[in-house]
Chains A and B, each alone.
Chain A
């Protein structure tokens, strides 16, 4: 390498030395490089960003959901001052009284639809591009579980405002489950916590909506993204490039250049 200027050496000591220190102990820099600095086919397009868009929508749901949980009260008992159920009163307070509550609740409420729509668009892209084929079958299968878990999140979240729409839509949803052969009636009774929706139902669905299902979907998304990183992005079906072709390793440029000392530490491969 060319002889370094004094300034270059200073920058290296100030910025890169701590990074190296961390990397030596955790492999975090190598891991980040492995995760982010991947070769992708030359002819990918905006269509391949739908997965990231879905992930972004999910992150928005997580953040807004965590904050909404600070103000929402999952209780079906009647608030003596308002004469309305506590849960509905807390939703009213979030929407009408608390500063910016309307915005965060709106983000969560509409973001739920955005998340589901993006899930389907992403799934359609993967299907039409044949990106579910070998060796990416497990990525598709984990994606199916993410889809199911995402829809369960939508189903359980819909009850939480505890208004007439929420209540009767959930009655219909529970009874739909009840018509499934054999296990249906038991599933319905489990969901309603008894033969009909009762006082325990709301708390149970709140727990499912903000603890059980998010835990499951975060785990699934982790596996899904690991597989995407490991297996790479697929070329579109009309691609003229030969699959599996080795590409000449270009010297890192731009933002990539300075992150890790040139030539010293290899990538995650």
Chain B
């Protein structure tokens, strides 16, 4: 049962590899915060030095004689190597059965790869390719009374069916001067995306919905609501009228949607993440970030401490 030699452990000889390994790990951890390149370099260093270290430590166990390592050569090299001058010592034999074994395994692996890779690709890639979201047309501007929120629910993909239904809360902030456009008067909108930035549940406006004023414009359902705050039914997240978090687990302000106005109609653009909003309505100062998964910080120290990184996966 118990081998006597196991009771006499002895320390391996001194080695410099652990230092390299430690540097690699430190680089990797720094890279998680600073940049992918440093992390990659750190990972490579850690793997290389870790392997060298493991090789050093296990030398005795593997029965390898240190220092006087005999030269060994992989089987494949033997076949590919050009015929050199005939060696005096008898060559290591390369039997037919070993060749057949290697070729059977190699051909099987090749066939397996040819069959498996496209199948795996088909499983994974459709989630990441050809995903153009259409711009949703929310209809004429007259449907949005000034200073009030309207619940607008629309189809993100025409033909996508009910499952592609999305909801935004739209508030018309009146006309404001746009300094970028020679100070022309332009309509301003606050458009909050209804998905909670905690874990994506449907945020509800906290106020009575005016069902009598409900409108349906080309499949877009518009319902005015008297709300100065928004709440999430799943885990109790609470937001104020500008979408700032007031209570509960959300980690940033409500996502907002870009918009444009074409031929007097309100057109929804892509959704972006918001760190914080100061001010209200047309004068709101929005700290804007690329869209990020719900539950992830976009600003502050947490965004640095928790390296989620990819702001948006390919769309």
Which A positions have Cβ atoms within 8 angstroms of B? 76-78, 85, 168, 171-172, 174-176, 178-179, 181-182, 184-186, 188-190, 192-201, 244
Cβ of B209 within 8 Å of any chain A Cβ, yes or no, is no
Residue pair B295, A181 in contact (C-beta under 8 Å) = no
Contact A194–B131 (Cβ < 8 Å): yes
Partner of A175, one of B161, B166, B294: B294
Q: Which residue of B lies closest to A76 (CB)?
A: B163
Beta-carbon contacts under 8 Å, B67-99 to A: none
* CB-defined contacts of A200 to chain B, threshold 8 Å: 126
Q: Does B187 contact A (CB under 8 A)?
A: no
Quick check: B307 and A181 within 8 Å, CB to CB? yes
For residue B29, give the distance in angstroms from its CB to the closest CB of chain A. Answer: 12
> A186 touching B160 by the CB < 8 A rule?
no
Q: Is B164 an interface residue (CB 8 A)?
A: yes
Tally of chain B residues near chain A (CB < 8 A) = 33
A193 CB contact (under 8 Å) in B126, B164, B308, B315: B126
Nearest CB in chain B to that of A84: its residue: B162
Contact of B200 among A85, A172, A244 (CB under 8 A): A172
Q: For residue B314, give the distance in angstroms from its CB to the closest CB of chain A.
A: 8
Starting from the known contacts A171-B201, A172-B234, A192-B127, 16 additional A-B residue pairs (CB-CB under 8 Å) come to A76-B162, A76-B163, A168-B202, A168-B234, A171-B199, A172-B200, A174-B200, A175-B293, A175-B295, A181-B307, A185-B293, A185-B310, A190-B124, A198-B157, A199-B163, A201-B163
Nearest chain B CB to A58 CB, angstrom units: 25
> Which among A168, A178, A190, A199 is the interface contact of B293 at CB below 8 angstroms?
A178
Is B284 close to A, CB under 8 A?
Answer: no
Given A172-B200, A174-B200, A176-B295: A199 in contact with B161 (beta carbons within 8 A): yes
> Given the known A-B contacts A176-B199, A194-B131, A195-B131, are A182 and B307 also in contact in the complex, defined by CB atoms under 8 Å?
yes
Q: Which residues on the B side are within 8 Å of A197 (C-beta)?
A: 163
Q: List residues of chain B with CB within 8 A of the CB of A78.
A: 161-162
Q: Which of B160, B166, B201, B310 lies in contact with A172, CB distance below 8 A?
A: B201
Interface of A is mostly: helix
**Are B161 and A195 closer than 8 Å at their CB atoms?**
no
Q: How far is the CB of A195 from chain B (nearest CB, A)?
A: 6
Chain B, 128-140, contact with A by CB distance < 8 Å: what is the 0/1 string? 1001010000000
User: Residue on A with the closest CB to B309?
Assistant: A182
- Minimum CB–CB distance from B112 to chain A (whole Å) comes to 18
Residues of A within 8 A of B164 (CB): 196, 198-199
Q: B198 CB to closest chain A CB, in angstroms?
A: 8
Is there contact, CB below 8 Å, between B156 and A196? yes
Q: Is the CB of A168 within 8 A of B295?
A: no
Q: What 9 A-B pairs have minimum CB-CB distances, sorted nearest first?
A: A178-B293, A175-B200, A179-B295, A172-B199, A175-B199, A171-B200, A185-B313, A175-B294, A190-B127
**Residues from chain A with Cβ under 8 Å of B201 in the complex:** 168, 171-172
Separation of A76 and B164 alpha carbons in the complex (Å):
10
Chain B interfacial positions (CB closer than 8 Å to A)? 1, 32, 124, 126-128, 131, 133, 156-157, 160-164, 166, 199-202, 234, 293-296, 306-310, 312-313, 315
Best-buried of B163, B199, B234 by chain A (most CB within 10 Å): B163
| CB nearest to B311 among chain A residues | A185
CB distance from B169 to the nearest CB of A (A): 18
Distance A145 CA – B138 CA, assembled complex (angstroms): 48
Known: A172-B200, A172-B234, A192-B127. A198 touches B293 (CB 8 A): no
| Max chain A C-beta neighbours (<10 A), residue from B133, B162, B315 | B162
Q: Which residue of chain B has the shortest Cβ distance to A182 in the bound complex?
A: B309
Are A188 and B293 also in contact (CB < 8 A) when A172-B234, A195-B315 are? yes
B157: A residues at CB distance < 8 A? 198
What's the Cα separation between A174 and B127 when bound, in Å?
Answer: 14
* B293 surroundings in chain A (CB, below 8 A): 175, 178-179, 184-185, 188
> Could you tell me if A189 and B163 are in contact, using CB atoms closer than 8 angstroms?
no
Nearest-CB residue, chain B, relative to A85? B162
**Chain B contacts of A186 at CB under 8 A?**
128, 310, 313
Residues of B within 8 A of A198 (CB): 157, 160, 163-164
Q: How far is the CB of B170 from chain A (nearest CB, A)?
A: 19
- Contact flag A193-B162 (CB < 8 Å), given A175-B294, A176-B199, A179-B296: no
Q: CA separation between A149 and B219, bound complex, in Å?
A: 42
CA A218 to CA B160, docked complex, whole Å: 36
In the bound complex, how far is the Cα of B166 from the Cα of A251, in angstroms? 73
Asked whether A77 lies within 8 Å of B126 as measured between CB atoms, the reply is: no
Minimum CB–CB distance for A9 against chain B, Å: 47
